[in-house]
Structure 1
């Protein structure tokens, strides 16, 4: 019996289309237009943002402020999850290995480029695709208010005439502020006596107590003492002067080509589609322009510093090369 004698022409057409679909091996596969539409719909569910450090710190505050402001511009909410351990290695490792669909982001920090060469992380910077930088804070050379140096030139001259005599406190051997001071001593061709502390705050306390001559931590970590007249900031390792410290020169102004510090930004696994990155990049740009976000950072003396995916990627590459060399020079790799 012929097929058309059993089914109407319309039913036969539907059956044949179904059979052809089955023969393709994927009857449920969306068309090109449908797939594009689904991609454009991102995000369609809640997004998770990994913070690789404990709740309550500066990185956590930036992440939560970002999520709060991003929830105003994205159709789905962002939930912050703290994954601590290994100085940031645990959380960033999980973020690097996440499914590259845009639903698990990582609040990465400069340690993304320092932990791998130190041998303290299984991931590499290339395992991430940078989306946007949100914040950046340079290192600064800060001394006691009664120190004999009133300019960075005087400080450098003394350090060069007295190698190893200037004790500079940092937040731990191999940490960003240690590497910043090391980069400076290489630039000016001298040696400092690097004194490690368990964080920046103890280093600043030691400086206030006269136990060391300087610290190389961020302006945010000495701002209160500088404003109170207990400390004086001689120079910042930044490309431009900081709005809150307009009288403090940059190293570059003084002929020392050095720009180094910490930063925080959003990153996704390396194979994440470009359309997803675009959505997140645009959202991040709006976040950094949101007063609620900028107020949180200003309260903590943290600098808002937006950079899109291309600029952020270039900065990550530059820092990765810098810190890999520094770690090698210091012989710090585990």
Structure 2
């Protein structure tokens, strides 16, 4: 029997070691700055949400988190810039119902499936709020009146999610409605307070300050419960299937490695437990409602099925 010389064994061991080192292990995600693109101006609800998340997320990731505000086109500019980034998990943006409405209006080139959806973190309902001069103090009275003649409902922006949800609510109620667009939520709220329209469909944070005191607006139904208006019943309570909420989460260009998505999920699950973030969520009037994985994708697809057809109808597409 022949024996292997010692120098040959040493050479084999060295070759094995060199071979193992030829493909260096991939660095654990993240090993550099993570960028969140906010597709709106500083100071708005989405920006305030991200700023509250920034610090806790840095602590969870153990790296810097850079927040960039890229406003324009109702969110289209920032979302498109995020989509142009490498799909490596280092650049993300904030998905919401504008994803559906921008696509449905034909204002953008991207599609829902161009993104990897990492998380839904918070939701915010839409509230039907009536003018004190409308003559209606509850949903039943309003619906009954709308069967006799058209009522007027305002919203913020043509093609916005509040526009599309106003259509969805009118359709679900079987109401005759004349739709009146305004540049923003404050203008729509002022019109309702002045009795120029019968009501508005906006978020609770848009109308809560106009619901206090004499001659105030009257919230009659919301798409889900909200801590800002805890006593307002939902449309479902009245037998109407209107449950679509606004939402905010994290999305990246499609193709993010599975390990990066897993790291994002773990970091977010830690970050959202931060007391400061929890307090900010409460102050913003949004509801903490995290979803990940298959449940998140089911939610995204449901929103697509509800909002895209209505938006395309508005756009004539």
TM over 0.5: yes
Tell me the residue number matched to 1:320: 304
Q: Is the 8 A contact 2:60 2:268 kept in 1?
A: no
Cα distance between partner residues in 2 of 1:332 and 1:306: 34
> Does the alignment pair 1:270 with 2:254?
yes
Tell me the residue number matched to 1:3: none
Cα distance between partner residues in 2 of 1:268 and 1:130: 7
Which of 159, 163, 181 lines up with 2:146 in the alignment? 159
- 62-71 vs 184-193, greater mean Cα deviation: 184-193
Would the alpha carbon gap of residues 58 and 243 (structure 1) be closer, same or farther in structure 2, given more than 3 Å must change?
closer
Would the alpha carbon gap of residues 15 and 309 (structure 1) be closer, same or farther in structure 2, given more than 3 Å must change?
closer
Which of 212, 237, 247 lines up with 2:223 in the alignment? 237
Which of 224, 227, 245 lines up with 1:261 in the alignment? 245
The alpha carbon displacement at 1:12 in A equals 5.0
Would the alpha carbon gap of residues 310 and 228 (structure 1) be closer, same or farther in structure 2, given more than 3 Å must change?
farther
Q: Is the 8 A contact 1:113 1:323 kept in 2?
A: yes
- Superposition map of 1:126-141 within 5 A: 126-141=113-128
Which of 144, 168, 178 lines up with 1:183 in the alignment? 168
C-alpha RMSD of matched pairs (Å)? 2.4
The alpha carbon displacement at 1:146 in A equals 4.7
Q: 1:227 aligns to what SS in structure 2?
A: coil
Tell me the residue number matched to 2:186: 201
Count of aligned residue pairs for this structure pair: 313
Tell me the residue number matched to 1:62: 49
Unaligned runs of 5+ in 1: 1-7
Deviations 1:102-133 (A, max 9, x none): 11111222111211121111111111111111
Deviations 1:277-324 (A, max 9, x none): 122122222333322112223223233322223322221111112122
Tell me the residue number matched to 1:295: 279
Cα distance between partner residues in 2 of 1:160 and 1:142: 18
Cα distance between partner residues in 2 of 1:204 and 1:45: 44
Which of 164, 169, 174 lines up with 2:159 in the alignment? 174
| Normalised TM-score (structure 2) | 0.90
The alpha carbon displacement at 1:72 in A equals 2.1
Deviations 1:171-195 (A, max 9, x none): 0111111111101121122331111
Cα distance between partner residues in 1 of 2:99 and 2:253: 13
Tell me the residue number matched to 1:47: 34
Unaligned runs of 5+ in 2: 1-6
The alpha carbon displacement at 1:147 in A equals 3.6
